[in-house]
Amino acid sequence: MKVTFVHPSIGRRPGENYMRTWQMESLPIAALAHLTPDDVEIQFFDDRMEPIDFDAPTDLVAIPIETYTAKRAYQIASTYRAKGIPVVMGGFHATLMPDEVAQYAEAVVIGEAESAWADVIDDARHGTLKPVYKGYDRGSLDNVHFDRSVFKGKRYLPLGLVETGRGCRFPCEFCAIQAFFGQTHRRRPVDKIVAELEQIKHEKRLFFFVDDNFAGSIPKAQELAEAIAPVNIRWVTQMSVDAAHNEEFVATLARSGCRGVLIGFESLERDTLRAMGKKFNTMGGGYANALANLRKYGIRIYGTFIFGYGTETAETFENAYDFAMDNDFFLAAFNHLTPFPGTPLYKRLKDNGQLHYDAWWLNDAYSYNTLPFDTGGMSGEEITQRCVQARKKFYSIPGMMKRGFDKLNRGDFTMMRAFFLINYLHRQEVNKRHMLPFGDPNWSGELLKVA
C-alpha cells in the first residue's frame, strides 16, 4: 500500500509562479508519517513549494486542511478523486466544518488524528473507508512523535519545529484554536520533549516551539524550560502576554535559551480588547511591565495586531505602528480581523447579518487581505489599505535598520543574522500576498462532490 501526503497552499496568482522556497516544515504530516505502519510506502508533496505529481501511483491521499487552504485542497482532492484515488482530510477546517469537507473527500477525520489514523490506514487497506473518523477528545500527548525524514530534499527554512503542547485556555472571540481544543491546554511529557531536542539539536541553529500558547500553564512551562536549559539550544515560541508579567518565569525562559516570543497584543484599546475576549491583556498594569521584563532578559518580540472591530480610526493604525517601532519589535503583523468558521466571532457576524458571504474561503470574489464582513465602522477597503501601509513602513529599509541595530536585536549574532533575513522575506511578502486569490485560478478541473 502507498499513501501520499499533500500540504496544500493558500493559492496562486495568475501568470505568476508563487512556489516559495522558504516555508516551515509541516509537523502534522510528520506526525502522521510516524504513525503510518512500516509496510506502507509514503510520499509527500508540499504544494506551497513544489509541483504535485498527480500521476505518481498511490492508494490513498491524505490532506490536512485549514480554512485558508480549503479551496486549493478541494481542487487537489478532486484531481486525485477523478483518477479513482480515495482522499482523506483532517485538520482544523475539517473539524470545524465537517459537512463541507465531507463533500470533497471519501473520509473526514474530526479532532486530533493520532487516535484515528490506525483505523484509517486499516480500512483503506481493505477498501472499507468510513465517511467519518473521530479522534479521542483531547487525549494524552504521551505518544506524539514525528518522522522528519519526509522533509528531506525540500528547501524549508532552517528552523526546527517542535511541539511541546496543544491548546489555549483563553476565550478569544476570533480564535479557531479555542474552538478546536475547547479552551483546554495540554503538555507533552517533559522527558520526551527533552529527548527529541537532544536527538535533533545539531540539525538546526534555531528552534520554534509551535505551541498555541507556550504559557498555557506557567508552572508546567517553567518546569519544561528548566529541563531544556542543559540541552543548550536557541528557541522561540508563542505565548500570551500575561505570562511576561512574571519576572521569574521570564528569567527562566531566558536561561533555557529562549530568544524570542510571538505575542498577540492585538489592540492598544481596552474596550476593543474586552470585545475580543482578551481582557487578560490589560492585567498587571498593561503592556509596559511585560515589555520591560522581556527586554531585561534579552527576549525579542514578534507582536501581532488585529483591526476590524468597528472602532478603528486612522490613529488606531498609527498608534499600533508607533508602538511596534518604539519598542523595536523583531517582527510585527498588522492584520485585519478574520471570521474563521466555528468561532464565536463567526457566529456573531453571521447572526447579525454582517457577513458578505457565508463561506468566504470558497467565494471567487474573496482574496487574501480583504474583509469578508461589514465592520460597522471603517470600510473593509480602508482597513486593508491601512494594514498594508503599516506593513510596508515597518518592513521598509529605514524601519528594518532602526530596529535591527537596536541593542537587543543585535545582541546575539545568530539572532541578528536571522533578523535581517526574516525581515527581508517579510518585506517581499507584503506585495506577494496582497490580494492573492485562494486556490489556483489556472486549475481547469471540476470540483467533484461525493455522491
Whether 443 is covered by a domain: the verdict is: no
In this structure, the answer to whether residues 391 and 285 fall within a common structural domain is yes
Q: Which domain holds residue 55?
A: 2-134
Integer-rounded Cα Rg, in Å, for the chain is 22
In this structure, the answer to whether residues 128 and 159 fall within a common structural domain is no
Residue 277: alpha-carbon gap to chain centroid: 20
In this structure, the answer to whether residues 178 and 31 fall within a common structural domain is no
The CATH number of whichever domain residue 157 belongs to comes to: 3.80.30.20
- Tell me, what's the pLDDT at 12? 87
In this structure, the answer to whether residues 353 and 255 fall within a common structural domain is yes
In this structure, the answer to whether residues 207 and 344 fall within a common structural domain is yes
- Tell me, what's the pLDDT at 256? 98
| Residue carrying the nine cell digits 506577494 | 432
- Tell me, what's the pLDDT at 18? 56
Which pLDDT tens digits describe the chain residue by residue (451 residues)?
A: 999 999 999 998 877 765 566 799 999 999 999 999 999 999 999 999 999 999 999 999 999 999 999 999 999 999 999 999 999 999 999 999 999 999 999 999 999 999 999 999 999 999 999 999 998 766 789 989 999 999 999 999 999 999 999 999 999 999 999 889 988 999 999 999 999 999 999 999 999 999 999 999 999 999 999 999 999 999 999 999 999 999 999 999 999 999 999 999 999 999 999 999 999 998 877 899 999 999 999 999 999 999 999 999 999 999 999 999 999 999 999 999 999 999 999 999 999 999 999 999 999 999 999 999 999 999 999 999 999 999 999 999 999 999 999 999 999 999 999 999 999 999 998 988 899 999 999 899 899 999 8
Whether 100 is covered by a domain: the verdict is: yes
Of 100, 104, 110, 107, nearest in space to 121 by CA: 107
Whether 139 is covered by a domain: the verdict is: no
Whether 29 is covered by a domain: the verdict is: yes
- pTM value is 0.96
In this structure, the answer to whether residues 239 and 370 fall within a common structural domain is yes
- Tell me, what's the pLDDT at 55? 97
In this structure, the answer to whether residues 82 and 183 fall within a common structural domain is no
User: DSSP 3-state assignment of 71?
Assistant: helix
Nearest-angstrom CA–CA distance, 393 and 400: 9
Rounded to 10 degrees, the C-alpha dihedral 359/365/369/370 comes to -80
In this structure, the answer to whether residues 243 and 365 fall within a common structural domain is yes
- Tell me, what's the pLDDT at 182? 86
Cross-strand pairs, 2? 41
- As given in the structure block, the three cell numbers for residue 275 are 470585545
Side-chain half-sphere exposure of 229, counting CA atoms within 13 A: 12
φ, ψ of residue 30 to 5 degrees: the values are -65, -35
Q: How many domains does the chain have?
A: 2
Domain endpoint, select from 134, 160, 180: 134
Domain endpoint, select from 134, 164, 183: 134
Whether 424 is covered by a domain: the verdict is: yes
Paired sense of beta strands 107-110 and 331-336, if any: unpaired
In this structure, the answer to whether residues 359 and 425 fall within a common structural domain is yes
Cross-strand pairs, 206? 159
Distances (CA, A) of 88 to 21, 54, 74, 112, 374: 27, 16, 11, 14, 35
Cross-strand pairs, 60? 3
The CATH number of whichever domain residue 37 belongs to comes to: 3.40.50.280
In this structure, the answer to whether residues 269 and 406 fall within a common structural domain is yes
Whether 438 is covered by a domain: the verdict is: no
Of 442, 303, 441, 436, nearest in space to 370 by CA: 436
Whether 375 is covered by a domain: the verdict is: yes
- Tell me, what's the pLDDT at 137? 64
